[in-house]
Amino acid sequence: MEERVPLSFGDLARVVDGRIVGSSAAALIDGVSIDSRTLRSGDLFVAIRGDRFDGHRFVNEAVAAGAVGALVSDESALEPSSVAVGVVVDDTLRALQVLSQHVRRASGARVVAITGSVGKTTTKELTAEALGARYRVFRSHGNFNNHIGVPLSLLELRTRPEVAVIEFGMSASGEIRRLVEIAEPDLRVWTNVAEVHGEFFQSIEAIADAKAEILEGATKETVTVANGDDHRVMGRVVGVPGRLATFGASVDADVMATDVDDLGLDGTRAAVRTPVGSMSVTTPLLGRGNLANVLAAVTVALQLQISPTEAAARVAAVGAPPGRGQIHRLARGVLVVDDSYNANPLAVKTALQAVAVDRRQGRRVAVLGEMLELGRRADALHRDTGRAVAAAGFGLLVTVGGAFAKALGEAAVEAGLAADSVKHYDDSNAAATSLAGLLRNDDLVLIKGSRGVQTDRVVKRIVGEWA
């Protein structure tokens, strides 16, 4: 293991063009934190100003928790504290980003950046697992994927991993551009485009344009990994400098799945053809969308000289985390698919289809929370999802949320689902109470919804009562 990237307060002040307050320029920084509640002894506390909080109010708490110093834009925040040393800058967020870029460069790590509308976090986990066959790999935590989370992730590269796999998210134009500027990725992975965050964009094409910022600044050394099945992605990667590697199941991609076998709740199996050989790939993850995520991970692994067979073996062992397709096997044959972490129209349809094609006997039940941030097309997209529920043959639909959730249920009835098989509840607590009494032996239950609707409460209630 190589020595960590060194970082003293003198280094910090030099890199971020700050002014040291105190006489401990040589003091070393172990880590960096923006949260006094989770800060570890020896960390630098960075006081970030946000819409609902101001980190300058918590400098004293950070010092009490063991902070070795603080980075602030308001010097008065240092005065009542016992902090040994501080660095003052004009903008602490900008300084955090600049510092993270410094660490990224000094680490020597190759950075893999992953973006897309659906499946970013899963693709990140699969890619990190595949690359672990040969490299020391860092992966960003959870969904640390924005203008604060990505810099915090890059700062952890002080341990000098060989490869870092980082997730890039966005809710507005320009956000991914800034993340690319900071992280300077060597490999850029673009999984797909879907109607997510429609509240902030005029069209799905505008969403695609914002995601396409992942391609900016590419050079002849850059590798771009793109979903060949997504025409919006492929239309925007044309002419991008560097090497292009594609994956897919419906086009002639570099890494291509054929003979796909949908195993329902048991995942997917497929034959996969690559430029260096063919093999079989199996994943326990739910649905065709996750097969695409697996293909993306295998494609990245190939670019870093890992054999497709080795990569396939490692991703086959990756199961679903809570809230992202995790399956609970309950009493009386009831199966619950916990996909409650988040929802958008494409992801819901993919999950519905995966449950529908499962070969087990039993009624199909969908508990669908309202999908948020869809903008002016929210009503149409919810109604389209309702029609998908009916087409997939579900026997019971429970909708949770406001008017758009109701519209989803109405459309399902219009498409042929019996009216008495559709139930609506304003919140997840009410839905959980009702659903516990509606379930039958051998039901297959899909629970999915945007985080703001809290369908995870339905999962907890059902699992608790039917375990």
CATH number at residue 24: 3.40.1390.10
Q: Which amino acid is at 70?
A: A
Which residues of the chain, if any, have pLDDT below 50?
1
Kindly state whether residues 361 and 220 are assigned to the same domain. no
User: What's the confidence (pLDDT) of residue 195?
Assistant: 87
Kindly state whether residue 1 falls inside one of the protein's structural domains: no
Kindly state whether residues 278 and 188 are assigned to the same domain. yes
Kindly state whether residues 306 and 394 are assigned to the same domain. no
Kindly state whether residues 332 and 305 are assigned to the same domain. no
Q: What are phi and psi of 58, to 5 degrees?
A: -115, 15
Kindly state whether residues 112 and 85 are assigned to the same domain. no
User: What's the confidence (pLDDT) of residue 2?
Assistant: 59
Among 253, 283, 315, the domain-final residue is: 315
| Token output for 358 | 């499962």
Q: What are phi and psi of 454, to 5 degrees?
A: 60, 45
CATH of the domain at 244: 3.40.1190.10
Kindly state whether residues 148 and 280 are assigned to the same domain. yes
Tell me the pLDDT tens digit for each residue of 234-256.
999 999 999 999 999 988 999 99
pTM of the model: 0.93
Q: Which amino acid is at 441?
A: N
Kindly state whether residue 113 falls inside one of the protein's structural domains: yes
Cβ neighbourhood burial of 448 (10 Å; 0-12, 13-18, 19+)? buried
Kindly state whether residue 3 falls inside one of the protein's structural domains: no
The total number of structural domains in the chain stands at: 3
User: What's the confidence (pLDDT) of residue 327?
Assistant: 96
Kindly state whether residues 425 and 283 are assigned to the same domain. no
Kindly state whether residues 374 and 401 are assigned to the same domain. yes
The whole domain housing 220 covers 108-315
Among 89, 116, 149, the domain-final residue is: 89
Which residue, chain included where needed, has tokens 């919804």?
Answer: 449
Kindly state whether residues 136 and 70 are assigned to the same domain. no
- Return the exposure string of 302-329: e unless at least 16 CB atoms fall within 10 Å of the residue's CB, then b: bbbebbbbebbebbbebebeebbbbbbe
Going from the C-alpha of 435 to that of each of 355, 366, 369, 397, 464, the distances in angstroms are 18, 11, 14, 10, 13
Kindly state whether residues 216 and 296 are assigned to the same domain. yes
CATH of the domain at 366: 3.90.190.20
Kindly state whether residues 169 and 264 are assigned to the same domain. yes
Kindly state whether residues 212 and 288 are assigned to the same domain. yes
